[in-house]
Structure 1
Amino acid sequence: MKENIVFIHGLTGSRRAFKKQMDYFSHKYNTYAYDLLGHGEDRGEITDFSLDGLVAQLEELYEREGIEKAHLCSISYGCYPSTIFASWYKEKVSSLCYIGGHYNSDSPLKLVLQHFRDNRYSDYPDWLRRYSKDLFPKSGVVDPYALISTRLYYKYGLELHEDVLKKAIEHRLDYDLKADLKQVDVPVLWIMGDHDNLFKSSITDLDEVIPHAFYKEIPHTGHAANMFRPFAFRRMYAEFLQGKQEI
């Protein structure tokens, strides 16, 4: 019987974020993806974008598809519903994979989030333009990864109701995700892009939070490392799922 993998996209994204991975892994696994609240058919509408709602949404997927246990693979903000779900329903999670994952810690990322929680600017497009740029700062004079991430985040962020991104900031500042991560006892693969410096600043104590996590960086990538270099990510994740710890 095939094992299950549930892919969870990040803010401004969609279930299509993992299309290449789903196509590849579907040969050996049952693969699933879904649109987070406010990102699918309700995109642009007012929605109850709460952590309880996001976790309930994942629980509903399990029930609808008859999933008893699954590997959870999430990107960026998707680490919040996946981790909370894993802490509530430990028996339902086989492993966790984080791409561009982050958590509440004193870091430059936290300072950016605090700034854009407290400063609204003239309107949502102006706020989002500044926020997108600060989330993905250039790591050098030439940094195409930051430029691409900034443009995509702004483009698709404009399609969301403004409450979604603003509530997500509150979640990341107010919810103690680190406490949940410390309780994780399933295998963990944590992948970051080598140019994803701002988000990497929040996980400097990862070896203390999850001592058994396998941490890997994919060269020449930005925040969404699986999208910049899908084949490199696919290899790492496949070896992780197969239990090859030398990744």
Structure 2
Amino acid sequence: MSFGQGGPSWGPGDSGTPDWAALAEASAARSRRRKWLMIGGGALATAAVAAVVATAVITSGSGGASGSGKNASELPTPADLPAETSAPGPSFSSVAPPPPPDPKDYIADERKDTAPVTVDAFFPGRKLTMGDRVYAKGATARTTNCATATQGALGGILDGNGCDQVIRATYSKGGIALTVGLAVFGTESEARKAAQQASGGLASLSGSGVPTFCRAGAVCRRTANSYGRYAYFTVSGYTGGKNVTTSSKDVYAVGDDLTEFTFRQIRHRGEVQASAAAGLPTS
């Protein structure tokens, strides 16, 4: 069928009626062409995608983290990997380290307590500070005749338990004076017995600015304690001769301070020797 400038041609005879068979054939032909064009375009698109995928697979197989050039089918599967590595694991000793030395062991027996026993080792300096309280140090003394540093029955008790020596030091503050005495024994048990059996008391030590005190019948406060192989005693009172009573809180405070200080000095002696035995730094 053809169309001229004068309008459509309707078929033989120009009867004015369209040639319906020719029109149907032409429409079918156009539909077939469109179908084949769509099929051909889809095939081309599928081929292009397949080419891209193939390129990606080849690229992945030729590189990889190891650079081995294997493709995906040649890479190891999880079943091919070793179950264990050869790297060594951490090791721990089954032997526990020895415990640190006990400082008290080094002041409980003269065989371990080998540091020098001197006045300055226990009562150093020219004054003593305890918190906000400052005590001036007076006279000091050291004797191997233990009984001469005592009054009453204490001398016989010290000698009976094997006392080796007595070190004394006096401190004063505000009209109150105190003498502390450190009796040295060979063992802890000897020192403990001497403190438990204490009777009488330590003889006060005057001099170096401190007048005679706690003599001639004056009532004073006396204490007795022990730690390690050391028994330590105090006698404290008023330098003016007034008697000490249970309400004399100032005298009790001085006695408590010096008793605590002496205990700390003995304990520190053990700590220093224990640290040295363990190879640790000492203060």
TM bin, normalised by shorter chain, reads under 0.3
TM-score normalized by the length of structure 2: 0.22
Structure ranking higher on relative contact order (CA contacts 8 Å, 6+ apart): 1
TM-score normalized by the length of structure 1: 0.24
Larger radius of gyration: 2
| Greater fraction of residues in helix | 1
